[in-house]
Chain A
Amino acid sequence: MPVPENHEFFIDPGRCIGCQACVHACSECDTHRGHSMIHLDFVDRALTTQTVPVICMHCDSPTCAEVCPADAIKRSEDGVVQTARKPRCIACNNCVLACPFGVPKMKADFELMMKCDMCYDRTSVGKKPMCATVCPSGALYFGTRDQIESLRRAATPINQFRFGEQLIHTKVHMMVPKSRGREIVDVAAALFEAPVGQDMSLNILQ
């Protein structure tokens, strides 16, 4: 059974407060207790409190699946890139290294790659993914296009990401400001950009 009809995943890392509720909730999930599939990293704690939660973006043509020598990663008809098939995965790490978003996790103990599968066990019975349900900042949101448009009027969801010459389309959308009129986010360009945030020195009286 597919993800509830019309429901899509929208991420807005800029809203993230780094609380890790998503990480904890993910590891309480039924199919992988004790193992979170979500990454939550500080961008540079010495500099800023900025954090980034990363779930699988569910690419239309997933690099992870194509570089898999064991053909262990499948994309469902509704576009969910599933976690590695247990009988097949040979724990080679290709997917971990190839994913442009840095999503798959290698579980060395299990000789198995595991990744976010949009809570297939929950969405298949009409529930929302665990992380998007608990996220207190709305950085992870699961709902209809109408809902997101009425809630986030200044933002527009986009699902095309550029990495050098490569353009990747994803099932998951990221929120960017409407005013920019952007259709593509150039992720690799951020290699040469600084994190953004309030600067302590700015408003301190010297």
Chain B
Amino acid sequence: MATLPVSRLETIQRFGPHLSYPAGMRLDTAEDPDKVVKTHCCFCGQQCGIQLKVKDNVVIGFEPWEEFPFNQGMLCPKGVRRYLQGAHPDRLTTAYRRDANAAGGFSPMPYDAAVRRVAEEIDRIQSTHGADAFAVLSGASLTTEKTYLMGKFARMCLRTANIDYNGRLCMVSAGAANKKAFGIDRSANPWSDIPKAEVVLIAGSNVAECSPITTNYVWQARENGAKVIVVDPRITPIARTCDLFLPVKPGRDVALFNGILHLMIENGWIDQRFIEQFAVGFDAVAEHVRQWTPRQTAEVTGITESAIRQAAEWWGQAKSSFLMHARGIEHHSHGVYNVLSTINIVLASGRIGREGCGYATITGQANGQGGREHGQKCDQLPGLRDIENPEHRAYIAKIWGISPDDLPGKGVDAYEIFRKIDRGEIRGLLSICFNPKVSLPDNNFIGRMLDKLDFYVAIDFFLSESAHQADIVLPGSLQEEDEGVVTSAEGRVIKINKCVDPPGEAQQDWRIIQDIAAGLGRSRGFTFNEPREIFDELRRASAGGIADYAGITYEKVERQLGVFWPCPMDDHPGTPRLFEHGSWNPVALGRGPFYFPDGKARFNVATYTPPAEDVDADYPLMLTTGRVVSHFLSGAQTRRIGPLVDQYPEPRLELHPQLAEQLSIRDGDWATVESRRGSCTLRAQVVRTIRPDTVFVPYHWAGAKSINQVTIAAQDPISKIPEYKVCAVRVRREASPPAYAQQLEPQQ
């Protein structure tokens, strides 16, 4: 194992991650705040309401916000400790340029000069190699205003087709499948429908750790008598006391749901009337699942026949139900099919669009929903509009005051951007709210590509691992330093309120983007004075689209404690539950509940294919990855918060005792997990809560501890989501610790 290069160690020493802890950890009382701001947590798609205490322009603590209906004061550890990310020693308060002679590899520079340099480089690259040679990577934890502005900036100011965002790693399989089946990409139901369901089916979602507040909804359903079915290769905390646990082999979800549908049809547990009246394509699907007999399903999924039968019986016979899934079934090279196969059993049951009858994907990122609606996705324009649809192009071009011909076409997905860098087609990159060096699969490749760029500018509030490789780093803003709306997993538009000003030369992100536009001499359309002005334009841009925000105002959001889109008019209250009789639907216009011209939902044949990389003699185990409760995404924020790091300091390799025994690995031993792409040496955690043929590693760490060195860059052909949830690996015990164990602190 190679030791770390000195330069990387120096960068870490200078810029962190270092840990922050509450001040004065004694028995002294806390200071009284100057003000308490009602806002939302910056982590995860549930967007819990929280009150932040502010004193002297610093967030000093929190207080639960019990009136906010979604979480009623509840928080997870990330929410409780989120305030510790402000006033952090690692916080970037000035612009930096890469400088091999400077301590830590970067030297500070004036903000204006940095912006000028960025504009010059963009101009140079685009005039030499064409507009598309400069790409933009954005993020789904930004406010919706910012995501709107990023899309507009890329298309109207940079005129590049190549903008994409990190929702590509998160929401796109669900989004694509939802559009195929329902014509709309949003959770069909508010969470308040969960406790009203007789059966709750959770597929590929570690609810307890990734969306902890949802736990209470699931338990409430169980208190009301619901059966809880969990599909997962690991017994997560939500699975521990569920009524039926289906330990699916990673990557075999299509088979499972096809098998369940097979049994539903065989036993007549389908809603024939609903299917005929409100859906099309059932016959083809019925025909397709005929091959998925219980025996066949059991063999492919690795689940016993009796358990599959039990699941079909409970799901089939329920009067009301709620099906939810998350990255567990979405992070696959056939993620869209996985999702479609779950939607098929929902549609066949006829239990959707009614109270207590629901379906939802649990959004992962802070603005995972809002971030994919308004045009920072490579194929989308604001309002969930399609960039290849001439009418949609014309509408947005009119709002922006440009000719539709000047609007670039469809770009490529986030991973493809790196392949284009490899091919020399993309020479420059601007990233914001995205840490691809940690979060993309096979990330040693990503690291090489970042180095290969002619010019890379990162906008960030901490020097993320990706920003380590930037030429210029512009100091952006934390969530609490700006205002704007985000849309939660439920489809509820809520308001982030500003608590403090950005420190030093740090700027609100949208100002940085406008400054770059000004530096390029293309200020037109980028002269907003506050987020509210951006939001007002976004409302107009989304009007008439599916994600219609036209009737949403900041005041309405605050008054109603959130507004569910679509909300097309000022006097419209919003749409908590989709597909209800008479609810707003600009596509079907009364012909039916779903967002197609005939108003009918689509059954889609979901064909089973094994994972892109199946196990073999050389790599006999399956690796699956995921989150832990105290960290968020690439860890750029949570790995800097001391108490969260203490809770789960370093990634561990989870494996079953049977497997551990074969490999002579004991709990706490060092072990290397290795694929055809890379390897990672971690401490083993031997637990009986994982399939014996599968190992698990959480993905929040960087460098030598990053499991994404090992994962595969295979992508779903439709959604382009990478296959994080399964690849082939082998595991061996290590006699001695890896070099990083002596050189780095756990979070680094």
Contact = CB atoms under 8 A, between A and B. Distances in A.
Interface residues of B, number: 69
B128 to A, nearest CB: 52
B29 A204 contact: no
B710 to A, nearest CB: 23
A28 B62 contact: yes
B67 to A, nearest CB: 12
B29 A151 contact: no
A165 B209 CA distance: 40
Contact of A133 (B66, B216, B643, B647): B66
A110 interface: yes
B41 to A, nearest CB: 11
A104 to B, nearest CB: 16
B110 interface: no
A137 B689 contact: no
A136 B213 contact: yes
B746 interface: no
A136 B657 contact: no
A158 B312 CA distance: 37
B293 to A, nearest CB: 14
A25 B80 CA distance: 6
Q: Secondary structure at chain A's binding surface: helix, strand, loop or mixed?
A: loop
B649 interface: no
Nearest to B212: A136
Contacts of A48: 235, 240, 688-689
B379 to A, nearest CB: 35
A154 B28 CA distance: 43
Nearest to B75: A134
A198 B76 contact: no
A46 B654 CA distance: 10
A136 B216 contact: yes
Contacts of B667: 46
Interface stretch (B177-185, B219-227, B467-475, B560-568): B219-227
Interface stretch (B17-25, B515-523, B602-610): B17-25
Contacts of B612: none
Of A18, A134, A138, chain B has the most CB atoms within 10 Å of the CB of A134
Contacts of B586: none
Contacts of B238: 17
B492 interface: no
Nearest to B295: A205
B219 A137 contact: yes
A74 interface: no
A161 B215 CA distance: 28
Given A19-B209, A200-B690, A14 B241 contact: yes
Contact of A134 (B64, B208, B299): B64
Given A21-B75, A138-B216, A200-B688, 14 more contacts: A18-B629, A20-B647, A21-B212, A28-B22, A33-B28, A133-B66, A136-B76, A151-B220, A200-B235, A200-B690, A200-B691, A200-B692, A204-B304, A204-B691
Interface of A: 14-21, 23-25, 27-28, 30-35, 45-51, 110, 128, 130, 133-138, 151-155, 196-198, 200, 202-205
12 contacts: A18-B208, A20-B647, A27-B643, A28-B61, A32-B27, A128-B73, A130-B64, A134-B74, A197-B241, A200-B690, A203-B304, A205-B304
Leading 6 A-B pairs by shortest Cβ distance: A34-B25, A17-B208, A17-B237, A203-B307, A136-B212, A24-B80
